[in-house]
Structure 1
Amino acid sequence: MTDAKTGTTGNLTHLSAEGAANMVDVGGKDDTVREAVAEGFVTMTRETLDTILAGNAKKGDVISAARIAGIMAAKRTHELIPLCHPLLLNKVSVDIEPHPDLPGLRVEALARLSGKTGVEMEALTAASVACLTIYDMAKAIDKGMEIGPVRLLSKTGGKSGTWKRGAD
């Protein structure tokens, strides 16, 4: 069934009845504070983790570079994901901590705004690009690193309200 107002089919808001991709019109939505948190992991050898934490990677400060890359990526998500809206983000943060049990690094990215559409893709993009940057900067030491999972932890705001991983 096609929604006359949006031209979309069922729950697939980015597809028309004919199957054509389109950007959802969010103009009629109310502005609300929206926040999303995503995480990602990079698993590596203990030696690689020790090298990164000691600041001895040949390419420089891996954690600082990955943090900046994640923040920059969140701001450019609409350029990477075809049907995402360009957003005026109020806050983006990327925290990277050692995770000795992997061994490796855990990335947590937060995106927040006051607007008409959610920021889940911005948080997920920030976490993903931070993980990719860690890999890029340490691949000379450890080509066997693994990225993942990258996943949404929570989102708040908007018509659908609050969602938290594991709470459903």
Structure 2
Amino acid sequence: MPITLARVDQRLIHGITVNQWNKVLHPKRFMVIDQEASSNEMIKASMRMSKPAGTGMSIIDEKKAIDHFKAGKYDDHTVFLIVKEPAIILDLINAGIEVPKVNVGALFEEGDRKPYTKRVALDDKELSDLKAIAAKGIPVFFEYTPDDNDEVSLEDVLKGKGED
């Protein structure tokens, strides 16, 4: 299975994703799936500069990612998938792409989002998408860095907010 972890992080590529998570996951490829980033050469260039030596980085849109996974392009890779919203992960799963687990790292409190953890705020659609992923038997957990050792399941986060 190419994907080792899928992470939802509004900032996509930054020090925590390329340094701390890299040390734990040892991916062969970082994959950012984002329409805006994939169509902006300046953003792509700056993201690629941050990748650790010896790793690849793909910054592509959702359709291209699904096509490439289905074609087996990443079958011999370990992929750390990073997206801004859980809907993209749900779309990949619904397209038949295997995602072993989903980490929710950082989503800022803005717009209709309300806080669920110290670093994660969700709107109704994001919460619904995470619940749909979990309903498919895929673990969804909240953890900012792997060094925090404070992985909390979606179920526990919802219980803490009086939701289920």
Same fold by TM-score greater than 0.5: no
More RCO (CA 8 Å, sep 6+): 1
Q: Which has the higher strand share?
A: 1
**Max radius of gyration: which structure?**
1
* TM-score, length-scaled by structure 2: 0.26
After TM superposition, the score normalised by the length of structure 1 is 0.25
